Amino acid sequence: MTIAINVLFYNEHASEQVVLRILPIVMGVVLTTAGDYNFSLYGTIICLLATGISCFKGIQTHKLQKEYDTMDLLFYNSAFAGVICLLMSVFTQEFSTIYPQLDYKILILLLGNGILAYIVNITSFISNRITSPLTMSISGNIKLVTTILVSSLLFKSSSIGIMNGIGIGQTFFGGIGYSLYKNKPIFPVKSTVKETEKQDYLKKDKD
């Protein structure tokens, strides 16, 4: 989805090497969640819309952080998010349900939730700035697979079949392959060493 939005709205194309390294991750996620689909048209539309908005937000955040400070973006983002959450809580009647029961315990829980949300957001913004929206999307997929694996092992929430296990392994190895490709040195180490030795030799020759 991130690659599609980059192509459609920003005319930025990913290289073939990047696409080839993403395919195993995508197929791994598909295999991991195989057998857990309850299809409905409404759910599919909401899922695609949420995914598209999330990818667009990641791309736009990465671009804005080239011009603006991370804390400024987080400040404005939090203000809008706070207003939207308040309106949605009134619309869904959550506010009218919680307000009569409001006490110091709930306030402490809300404060703790706000602090954790701040840490998550600032970490996400900084990671997006340092890496790229595509890398963040891949990290999100690996996090999803990890959550499925850990929840299944700890809470026995669902059983992992052979196909799901293959998908989990493929996703992890695909993420490792993508990481190794993105972090490979621009110049070979041997060439750099030889060039340094050559410069040292020329320097000694001049002396």
Grade residue 189 by pLDDT with cuts at 50, 70 and 90: very low
pLDDT > 80? residue 13: no
- On whether the CB atoms of residues 178 and 22 are closer than 8 A, the answer is yes
Q: Identify the pLDDT of residue 6.
A: 75
- On whether the CB atoms of residues 30 and 167 are closer than 8 A, the answer is yes
Q: Identify the pLDDT of residue 188.
A: 45
pLDDT digits (tens, 9 = 90+) for 25-83: 888 888 877 765 666 777 778 878 888 888 888 888 888 888 888 888 888 877 788 88
Grade residue 186 by pLDDT with cuts at 50, 70 and 90: very low
Sequence-distant (≥ 6) Cβ neighbours of residue 160 within 8 angstroms: 148, 149, 152, 168
pLDDT digits (tens, 9 = 90+) for 133-156: 888 888 888 888 888 888 888 877
pLDDT > 50? residue 190: no
- On whether the CB atoms of residues 25 and 178 are closer than 8 A, the answer is yes
pLDDT > 70? residue 184: no
Q: Identify the pLDDT of residue 65.
A: 81
- On whether the CB atoms of residues 59 and 6 are closer than 8 A, the answer is yes
Q: Identify the pLDDT of residue 200.
A: 54
Rg (CA), the chain: 23
Q: Identify the pLDDT of residue 36.
A: 58
pLDDT digits (tens, 9 = 90+) for 87-135: 888 888 777 777 777 778 888 888 898 889 888 888 888 888 888 888 8
Q: Identify the pLDDT of residue 23.
A: 86
pTM of the complete model: 0.64
